Amino acid sequence: MEKAPPANLDWAKDVPCRNITIHGFCKYEGQGCSFNHDRGTSKPKADAPSTPTSATVGSINGALDDLEIDSRQTKSAGDKKKFNPAASSVFMPTGSAALPKPSANKFSALSPKLSNIPSFVPSVGQDGDHEQSSTNLKQFNVMESSTFQPTSATPFGGPSPTLQNPYLHHDTPVPPPQINPYTAPPESLNPYAGMGGSAGQDFMYPPHPQSAFPLQYHLYAPTPPPHLQIPLKGNQQNAETLFIPNKLREALLHKNEATLKTLGPSNLPNVVGVYYDLVPLDTALEKTTRSYNHTSSIYKAFSNTNGRAYALRRIEGVKISKDKSLSTIHQWIKLKNSNIGQVVDAFTSRSFGDNSLIVVYDYYPDSKTLYENHFRSNISKPEPITTEDLWTYMCQISAAIAAAHSKNLPVRSLSLQKVILTSKNRIRLSDCGVLDILNYESELTPDQTKDLMAQDITMFGKLIFQLASIRLPAEMRARPEIQLVQHLDQTDDFKTALNYLLDSTNAGRSIFEFQKLICTRLFKELDKEQLSADYYEAQLTREIENARLFRLVSKINFIIDRAEYEHNPMWQQSGSRYPVKLFHEFVFHQVDEKGKPVLDLSHVLRTLNKLDAGIDEKILLVSKDEQSCLIVSYKEIKDLIEKSFRDLTKD
């Protein structure tokens, strides 16, 4: 079989390669890709014919207000001049220098009344003398004029690159800029804060549809203000007591909402490894290299493997010289601790256009760093720190450090920006294992590991001191921390524990000895955690059978108002299944004496619970026309529903 002759791809040499536009590079450049890989501004073809019209001239030079369409513009394309930017840097429409002056008698031969018609003046024209010749008009210079480049904020605070837009000089008005939540005042770095809204939208893409209002959680009773709350007796309930507490429900819904948020069209890669649908989590608009001496950022993404959400820490411009450096993350993956953000994976990627190190962690939605929660907040005032909070943080961080040190793993990264608050008084260490990869040279010796562990204890002490010294005068903070411990408004046992952490001269310091020092507080924190577990278990116990009523309503809706039963005598007014239809109207179609609908949730829950139990209590069912009345029990209705549903499954 003869091979097909090679295709003539000369037409593609002036077409910009889409890989350059989308990814910034083309991996097939020089290996068969026939498109143009010039990363500069793409130039138009030199042999493209120029077809100027009055609309084009008016969009390029606003001063040409009175130009009229000449008969010369109807010439064929072969008689027109060609636009060649290489030969001339000044773009002049064909025949613009010899355009005739507006003449009132141009069409006088057609009608004697046309001379009285005033000349047309565009409404967008500029004020001034419209009779001036075109030679005095300001010429448009393609090479000197600056091209309008629309920008949109990126998660890193800089302008995002935009695509070449052929309509930038068209008369169509530019749409107003979209609201961008990333242009808010910068906050501190937040590794796991749930971010919403759309960012980094390109000019050529439509805005991503999003609701401008928070979600409305229907069928839940809002908590009344304190002066309207009515005390209930032991045998009384209201709509609020039928569900989980409002604060707990709203907290869980906010976390779920933060997990499911997505980002509109942006310049982020679609897929990084096995992770897709990236959403930036950084709330700071400016890039920083404070933590790792490399620019870093963090994203939320979903895994193609199991569909769960994860947090991706990206370190930009990292050159991993030894593959063994990535193997150090395996020890962190094996480490399981409730106060350490679980490490999932680490790999390198070029999806962002550079050599990036990606470290994957479990995602904790709607979280804040300790710095955000207690030092800076754009939404509300920072939460004050009590002595109980300090003890809680001290006990939980010490438990995390002890778990890492027991595996000979120094934490290294320990600061207010690297400790996250995932829920009320529930903290975790984040970004563990990153410095192990970045600073890897060879296997750590026992002495090096011991020194790094001692540095962890010192950083731990400085973190607790920063939280405890918020109220100290600014002029006192220039002194060493260990000298200021006595000036803190805290208890003596707290000062003793803090002095132990900050005393770098103590060569025998260890996190395990420190836990012995605060063992009394550790048992108190353990008691608080057990009480919290009992509370959540009680709430789960209340919701364990919450699907019963849903199953019952589903059965009722499966069997009523079916088209195949429309002419079935069993479902007519004299049929045996007619009470089921009347009961459905009794539960959901209640009206008052004026005929207005009654939306009584307690009535629905009460009747459905009685139906599910199948009690012998009898009720009166009345049809809409009030011509049929039936007295039946809940048990009889339940039997009819079960029998009808079995017949439906048989069919």
Binding residues: 313, 362-369, 417-418
Q: Which three-class secondary structure state does DSSP give residue 357?
A: strand
> Would you state the structure tokens that stand for residue 216, as one six-digit string?
């409305």
Contacts by residues 21-30 (CB-CB < 8 Å, ≥ 24 positions apart): 21/163, 21/164, 23/269, 23/353, 24/353, 25/353
Cα–Cα distance for residue pair 632/624, rounded to 1 Å: 17
Torsion of CA 155, 156, 157, 159, to 10 degrees: -90
Main-chain phi, psi angles of 349, to 5 degrees: -150, 150
DSSP, collapsed to helix, strand or coil, labels residue 422 as strand
SS3 for 563-611, per residue? HHHCCCHHHCCCCCCHHHHHHHHHHHCCECCCCCECCCHHHHHHHHHHH
End-to-end Cα separation, the chain, in angstroms: 59
Three-class SS state of 612: helix
Q: Per-residue DSSP letters for 256-307? A: HHHHH----S-SS-SEETTEEEEEE----SS---TTTSS-EEEEEEEETTT-
Task: Give, for 347, the enclosing helix (H) or strand (E).
Answer: strand 343-349
Q: Which residues are annotated as a binding site for ATP?
A: 313, 362-369, 417-418
User: What angle, rounded to 10 degrees, do the helices at 492-502 and 387-405 form?
Assistant: 40
- DSSP state string for 461-508: HHHHHHHHTTTS-GGGTTS-HHHHGGGSSS-HHHHHHHHHHH-TT-TT
